[in-house]
Amino acid sequence: MPEGDTIYRAARALQKAIGGKVVTGFETGLAKLARVNDDAPLVGRMVEKVESRGKWCLIFFSGDLILVTHMLMSGSWHLYRTGERWQMGRGRMRVVIRAGDEKENWEAVGFNIPVAEFHTARSLERSGQVPKLGTDILSESFTVEDGVARMAAYGRENPDAEIAVVLLNQRVLAGLGNVYKSEVAFAAGVNPFRAMKTITPREMELMVDRSQRYLKANVVDGKGDGIVTYSGNRRTTHAMDREERLWVYRRQGQECRRCGATVMMRKQGVQARSTYWCPECQPWVGDGDAPVGRAQPVRGREVP
């Protein structure tokens, strides 16, 4: 599923392929994008830059036009040489941007994209979502100190908020998704259901540090040890085997890789997202009994 690392890699690939090139064609299956293109055609504009902000991908065109997309659970950007066969059916296409120069031409195709909007710089600044993001963990300006400060400030205002829900809050730390939420909490030894008022400054530091390390490790460019998140090989352990790449995510009922206890799973938050943890490595701290999860794998499709 697309998280901050996936969007970062997508933006980087789009920038390499179509950044600095002139748009030669544009298609969309979304009426609101088509209306903007009818009034202010993209053809002839230059792709000035492509960047990621948390889980958002922004494509900047000359003439003050920005395409903002969010993949949610199933969206993806693909790159094809002009004329190359698409790997998904045309019915899943939402956006096609053709761009090129004398040397090469590309088609950037957005499939199953649920959120796509055109903005100007001014309307983007007024948007209720993108500008209010916390600092992107993968941005050059991000520091662990800044992340800890934002998390601590949120905790003071929301002392009863559960830490794993806070890790998913893009206005606190931009880029983490459901996989990293569970993995980061495990790496820091923090029970994901603990209230913010029980989290120590050192635990916050560990979680922010691991968040940055994991995301950076999963956007390594090049071959060799580079991790290709596009094909689902996200990794938080040091194992090379794809079956051993994660500590706890989707491993309920299996042995913890550290202590041998049984990994648990429980739905969490208003969106009922699946949270995974080791009750031994991530002990309970707080009032009342420790949360109890499911130890048996869930049959059928679960909410990730």
Alpha carbon distance 34, 94 (integer Å): 11
Dihedral (Cα; 246, 249, 252, 257), 10-degree rounding? 30
CB 147 within 8 A of CB 135: yes
Annotated catalytic sites, by residue?
Answer: 2-3, 55, 273
Alpha-carbon gap, residue 197 to 161, rounded angstroms:
8
* 136 bridge partner residues: 174
Q: What share of the chain is helix, strand, coil (3-state, %, to 5)?
A: 30, 25, 45
Q: Residue 86: how many CA atoms within 13 Å on its side-chain side?
A: 17
d(CA 218, CA 8): 10
Residue 135 and residue 139: Cα distance in Å, rounded? 7
Within 10 A of 119 (CB to CB), how many other CB atoms are there? 19
